[in-house]
Amino acid sequence: MKTVDFGYERVSPAEKTARVRDVFDSVAGDYDLMNDLMSGGLHRLWKRFALAQTGLRPGQRALDVASGTGDIGAGLARQVGSSGLAVLTDINHEMLSRGRDRLIDHGLAQVQFLIANAECLPFADRSFDCVTIAFGLRNVTDKAAALASMRRVLRPAGRLLVLEFSKPTLGMLKPAYDAYSFNVLPWLGGIIAGDAASYRYLAESIRMHPDQQTLATMFRDAGFDECRWHNLAGGIVALHVGVVH
């Protein structure tokens, strides 16, 4: 039987999808607070950096995949403006409904929300100028299928931005980073969200995610003509930018 990783465990693809859904059902209520606490607010800078690379102009069409509570989607909506379109998608209703509430609270009305799996996006070929996925690809069961699906919906000269945890490039960071990930994160998750296990999964899933070069190769395999990446925080996070000609 085919198996895939769920953190450090090997499980069937169906079980991974179900358990990822359980993780985000469980963490949705405390997701934004936990992001700020876990990263010391750095996730805001990483997302701002990603948004600066979209190349979007007013009137264009943008898709955010695995939008969750909508940080990136809100930025895309501002970039394309009221003459454009931003579409926010996620497989998880709990997460996306929080995103929808936040965008409405911010007065961002020219936005569509859709429950969708990144592996099989329900949009026509070549429908978006930019597609983004932030801290989502790691959780997708079939990453190659998701990359191919995001590639398919991009217009010529469109960009895919993947913001994701990656491999620290500074060896001296590793012991402190490991200690933080495997001790502090589950402890914080336990006291703030009452769910240490989901935050242990977070640390494990980061370690199992492809490194910078491997992910760039996956972009090529999915049909991107170019892929470059930017390391952020010494490679703890990387932004991959794929371009189709």
Give the residues lining the site for ligand SAM (CB under 6 A).
20, 24, 65-69, 71-72, 90-92, 95, 117-119, 134-136, 139-140
Residues recorded for the chain: 245
Of 102, 167, 156, 82, nearest to 125 (Cα)?
156
Which residues on adjacent β-strands are paired with residue 61? 85
Residue 224 tokens read as: 């991107």
DSSP string, 20-62: HHHHHHHHGGGHHHHHHHHHTTHHHHHHHHHHTTS---TT-EE
From residue 170, alpha-carbon distances to 180, 202, 236 in Å are 16, 21, 9
The conformation of residue 180, written as its DSSP 8-state character, comes to I
CB atoms within 10 A of CB 66: 26
Give buried/exposed letters for 158-181 (b at 16+ CB in 10 A, else e).
bbbbbbbbbbbeeeeeeeebeeeb
Distance CA 119, CA 121 (A): 6
Residue with tokens 């993947």: 162
- DSSP H/E element including 154: strand 154-165
